[in-house]
A and B are shown apart, each in its own frame.
Chain A
Amino acid sequence: MATKQETEPRSTSLLQLNDDVLALIVAQLNVYQQFELTQLHSRLRSIVQSLWRTRVHSVVLQDELLCRASSRHFQAFMLALAPHLERLSCHRLDVRRLRMLSEHCLPGVSCLEWLGDDHEPRRGRVRFVDEDVRLLRRVFPSLRKLKLRGCQVTGKYLHELELLNELCLDDCQYLESQYFRDIFRQLKLRKFDIMEDCDEVNCCDLVDVQLCPTLEHIKIADYHLCMESDITQQLLRLPRLHKLSIYSKNFVFDVLARIARPSNAAAGGIKQIEGFRFSGLLHDYERFFRELSNLRQLRRLEVHGQSEEGQLQCLSDQMLCPLAAQLPELCELHLCGYQLESAAGLLQFVINCRQLRILDVTRSRCIGNAFIGRCLAVLSKQSWRTQPLELWIRQSDINPSCVQNPRYLVSDRSLRIDTKRMTPNIDYMSSVLKFSFVR
C-alpha cells in the first residue's frame, strides 16, 4: 500500500466507502478503536453508535486495549459505552482505571468480573481492595452478579451491594470469616461460589450460610464443609438449594459420605439428591460406587474418567452390577472415558433401571456391536417401555452396518443410537462432586 501522500490523490478518503462497508471495517476493530473513530467524523460516529446498539452489551477490558487512552479519554470512552453496557469483564486491568470512574455512574451494568492477577502480581501493581468494593457500589448501582479474582478484599463491604444475587470469590486469599455473616444475612444470594478459594489453611468459615435461604447454587471446596463446625446439614437444609458443587482432590469419599449418608436423614428437611456428577481420577471405584448406591433417588448419574499415564481407568462388572441394582429411578447414565471389563455391567442398568432413557458411553472402551445386540435382546422383552433407549456412543466403536442392517432390528421403538454427541466435555472441572437436588 502506498504510503507517501504525494502519490495519493487528495480526494482518497475512507469516507468515500458506503456505510455498509464502513460498518464491516468498524466491526473488525476493538471497542476502544471504535470509540476513537467516533471522534473523527459524525458519519463514523453514527456507524459506531449503530453497531454498539447491538454489539457492546458485553465488553472485555484489558490494559493492552487501553494503552494509548489518557484518563480523560478513558472516562469519555466508558461514558460513551454506558448506555449499551450490561456486562463488563476486566481482565488484569490496572485498578487505577476503575478508580478513574469513581465520579461516574454506569447504571446499566448488572454483571461485573474483576479478574486480577492470579498468583504473581505484576511488579508495582496496585491491588483491588475493600474500598474498591465501595466504589463498585457507587459506579455500578444495579450490580447483580459479581466475580472477583485475585483481589485483596476481606469481604468487609460486600454486603453493601444490596442487589447482588450471584457472588463468586476466586483466589481471594484475604477474606475474613467474620464478614460472611453480614454477606449471608443481608444479601439475597442465589448463587455463591468460593470453590477456588485455594487456601486450605486460611479459608473462610461459612458457618452462617444458613442465614441465606435464597441460595440455589453453591460451589465450595471440601475444607469449607468442616472448619470449626460441620456445615453439611445446614447446606442440605437450605430450602431452595438445587445444586451443590464441592471441589475435593483427596477427600472424595469423605464428602460423599457426608452428603449421601446424612446422619439425620430421617429428620425432615433433608433434600433428595436427583443428580450426581464427578469428573476426575479415583483409585477405589468399588468404594465410590458403594457410596453412590446410597443415593437411592438418583435420576442422573455422570461419571467422567480421566486417563492416567495414557491409560483409561478400569471399571469391572463387579463394581457396576451392584450399583445398577440400587438405583431403580435412574433415567440418565453417563459413564465416559473408562475401560469396561465387558458389556455385562451396563446391561444390568438396562435391565434394572426401568426409567433409563439415556445411556452415554462415549470415550469408553469395550462396548461395540456385541453390546448393541445384547441390549436389543433385553429391550425387546421390556414390553412396558414406552420410549426408546438412547445410546450415545462413538461412531468408531460400532460397525456402521449395525445401524444399517435390518438384521439387527435396530428400531426407533427400542433403541436409538446417537453417534453425534461426541464432544468430551472439557468444561467439567476435575475433582468436583456436583449434586443436584429435587426442587
Chain B
Amino acid sequence: MSQPSQALQIRTSDGIVFDVCLEVAQQMGLTHSWLQSERGDLKCSDGPDDDANVMPLNRVRSDIFKLVLDWCQAVQTVDTPLEHKEMLQHQRSLFQRILTESNATDSTIFELIIAADYLNIDGLLQAGTQHVADVINGCDSVEAIRERFHIMYEGEIDE
C-alpha cells in the first residue's frame, strides 16, 4: 500500500488554498524556512480545516501563485543536471513560455518578479529580472525606456 505523498497547504492573499507537494514547496526558500521554524517535522495534511498546516502567503495572489507553481513544477522535471549557462538559458526559455501561455501583461510580470523575490526562488527571480533587462536592452533610446516602462518625469503631476 503506497504512502500518501506529503503536501503542504498554502493560502494566498485572496484566500485560495493550494495543495503543494513537498518537493515543489521546498524550491521556495520562504516555505522551506516556514517548514523548519513553524512546523518542525512535516505532517501530512489532515484536512482543509487544519489551519496549523496551512502556510499563509499574504503578499501573493492566487493568479500569480499559479504561475509560480507552473515554474517550480517545470523546473523539477529537469532530470539531468545542466551546466550553469545551459541552466540559465533553460530558465529564460521557461519563463518566456509561462508568459506566453498566460498572456502576461507588464503588471503580471512585475508581480511575478516580486513574488519570486518574496518567496525566495532564485531561478525565477533571475529569469524575471533578465527578461526585463532584455526589454530595456531592446529600447533604442532613453526616452524609449521611459515610455515603455511608464517612468514619469520627477515632479510630474499624474492626472
Contact B136 A25 (CB under 8 A): yes
Which residues does chain A contribute within 8 Å of B142, judged by CB atoms?
A: 36, 39-40
- Which residue of the partner chain A has the closest CB to B106? A12
Which residues does chain B contribute within 8 Å of A18, judged by CB atoms?
A: 114, 117
Q: How far, in whole Å, are A28 and B127 apart by their CA atoms in the complex?
A: 11
Q: Which of B70-108 contact A (CB under 8 A)?
A: 99, 103-107
Interface size on B, residues (CB 8 A): 31
Query: Is A266 part of the binding interface, using a Cβ–Cβ cutoff of 8 Å?
Result: no
Which residues does chain A contribute within 8 Å of B107, judged by CB atoms?
A: 8-9, 12
Query: Is B68 part of the binding interface, using a Cβ–Cβ cutoff of 8 Å?
Result: no
Interface centre among B107, B110, B150, B158 (most CB of A within 10 A): B150
Contact A21 B113 (CB under 8 A): yes
Query: Is A37 part of the binding interface, using a Cβ–Cβ cutoff of 8 Å?
Result: yes
Query: Is A228 part of the binding interface, using a Cβ–Cβ cutoff of 8 Å?
Result: no
Contact A24 B129 (CB under 8 A): yes
Interface centre among A1, A8, A26, A68 (most CB of B within 10 A): A1
A29: which of B114, B136, B149 is its contact (CB, 8 Å)?
A: B136
Q: Which of A94-110 contact B (CB under 8 A)?
A: none
Which residues does chain B contribute within 8 Å of A37, judged by CB atoms?
A: 136, 145
Query: Is A13 part of the binding interface, using a Cβ–Cβ cutoff of 8 Å?
Result: yes
Given contacts A21-B125, A24-B129, A40-B142, A8 and B117 within 8 Å (CB-CB): no
Q: How far is the CB of B83 from chain A (nearest CB, A)?
A: 17
B132: which of A12, A14, A33, A40 is its contact (CB, 8 Å)?
A: A14
A2: which of B105, B110, B125, B133 is its contact (CB, 8 Å)?
A: B105
Which residues does chain A contribute within 8 Å of B136, judged by CB atoms?
A: 25, 29, 33, 37
Contact A17 B113 (CB under 8 A): yes
Which residues does chain B contribute within 8 Å of A21, judged by CB atoms?
A: 113-114, 117, 125, 129
Q: How far is the CB of A18 from chain B (nearest CB, A)?
A: 7
Q: Which of A12-62 contact B (CB under 8 A)?
A: 12-18, 20-21, 24-26, 28-29, 33, 36-37, 39-42, 44
- Which residue of the partner chain A has the closest CB to B113? A21
Given contacts A37-B145, A39-B142, A28 and B106 within 8 Å (CB-CB): no
Contact A68 B133 (CB under 8 A): no
- Which residue of the partner chain A has the closest CB to B100? A1
Contact B125 A8 (CB under 8 A): no
Q: How far is the CB of B107 from chain A (nearest CB, A)?
A: 5
Query: Is A381 part of the binding interface, using a Cβ–Cβ cutoff of 8 Å?
Result: no
Which residues does chain A contribute within 8 Å of B52, judged by CB atoms?
A: none
Which residues does chain A contribute within 8 Å of B150, judged by CB atoms?
A: 8, 10-14
B151: which of A8, A9, A15, A29 is its contact (CB, 8 Å)?
A: A15
Which residues does chain A contribute within 8 Å of B152, judged by CB atoms?
A: 13
Q: Residues of B at under 8 Å CB distance from A?
A: 99, 103-107, 109-110, 113-114, 117, 125-126, 129-130, 132-133, 135-137, 140-142, 145-146, 149-152, 154, 158
9 A/B residue pairs, CB under 8 Å, sorted by A: A1-B104, A8-B150, A18-B117, A25-B129, A28-B133, A39-B142, A40-B151, A41-B151, A68-B141
Known: A16-B110, A29-B136. 13 other contacts (CB 8 A): A1-B109, A2-B106, A10-B150, A11-B150, A12-B105, A20-B117, A21-B129, A25-B136, A26-B133, A29-B133, A33-B137, A41-B154, A68-B140
Q: Residues of A at under 8 Å CB distance from B?
A: 1-2, 7-18, 20-21, 24-26, 28-29, 33, 36-37, 39-42, 44, 68
